[in-house]
C-alpha cells in the first residue's frame, strides 16, 4: 500500500507542476486582463495542491498549515482583483 501512495503522490505532483507551468504561460501571454486573473487564480490553487501533496508524501502537518494560508491569501487577492477590474479601484471612498 505504501508503494501505491508513493507512486500516486509523485504522479499527482507532476500533473500539478505541469498545470502550474501552463497557467504561468497563460498569465504571461493572456490577451485580456481577465485571462491573466484566472491564470493567477489557477496558479495559487495549483500551488496549494502541490503543498498538500507534499504534506501527504512527507507526512508532515506543516505543509497543510501553509496551504491553508495560501488559500486564504489567494481568495482575498482574487476578490481584490475582481473588484479592481469591475470598478477600477479596490478601496472605495
Tell which CATH classification among 2.40.33, 1.10.238, 3.40.50, 1.10.287 matches the domain 2-87.
1.10.287
pLDDT above 90: residue 89: no
What's the CA gap between 8 and 73, in Å, rounded? 28
What's the CA gap between 72 and 55, in Å, rounded? 18
pLDDT of residue 81: 86
Question: CA 19, 5, 61, 58 torsion: positive or negative?
Answer: negative
Per-domain residue ranges for the chain? 2-87
Q: What is the pLDDT of residues 47-88, one digit of tens each?
A: 999 999 999 999 899 999 999 999 999 999 888 888 888 887
Contacts of 69 (CB under 8 A, 6+ apart): none
Q: Give the closest residue to 52 by CA, choosing from 23, 24, 16.
A: 16
pLDDT of residue 93: 66
What's the CA gap between 55 and 61, in Å, rounded? 6
Q: What is the pLDDT of residues 22-35, one digit of tens each?
A: 999 999 998 988 88
- 1 pLDDT tier (thresholds 50, 70, 90): low
Q: Which residue has the cell 501571454?
A: 29
Q: Does the pTM exceed 0.75?
A: yes
Out of 4-13, 14-23, 32-41, least confident range: 32-41
Amino acid at each position: 500500500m505504501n508503494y501505491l501512495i508513493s507512486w500516486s503522490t509523485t504522479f499527482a505532483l507532476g500533473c500539478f507542476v505541469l498545470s502550474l507551468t501552463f497557467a504561468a504561460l497563460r498569465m504571461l501571454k493572456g490577451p485580456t486582463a481577465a485571462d491573466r486573473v484566472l491564470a493567477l487564480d489557477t496558479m495559487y490553487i495549483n500551488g496549494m495542491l502541490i503543498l498538500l501533496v507534499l504534506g501527504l508524501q512527507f507526512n508532515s502537518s506543516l505543509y497543510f498549515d501553509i496551504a491553508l494560508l495560501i488559500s486564504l491569501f489567494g481568495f482575498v487577492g482574487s476578490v481584490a482583483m475582481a473588484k479592481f477590474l469591475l470598478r477600477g479601484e479596490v478601496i472605495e471612498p
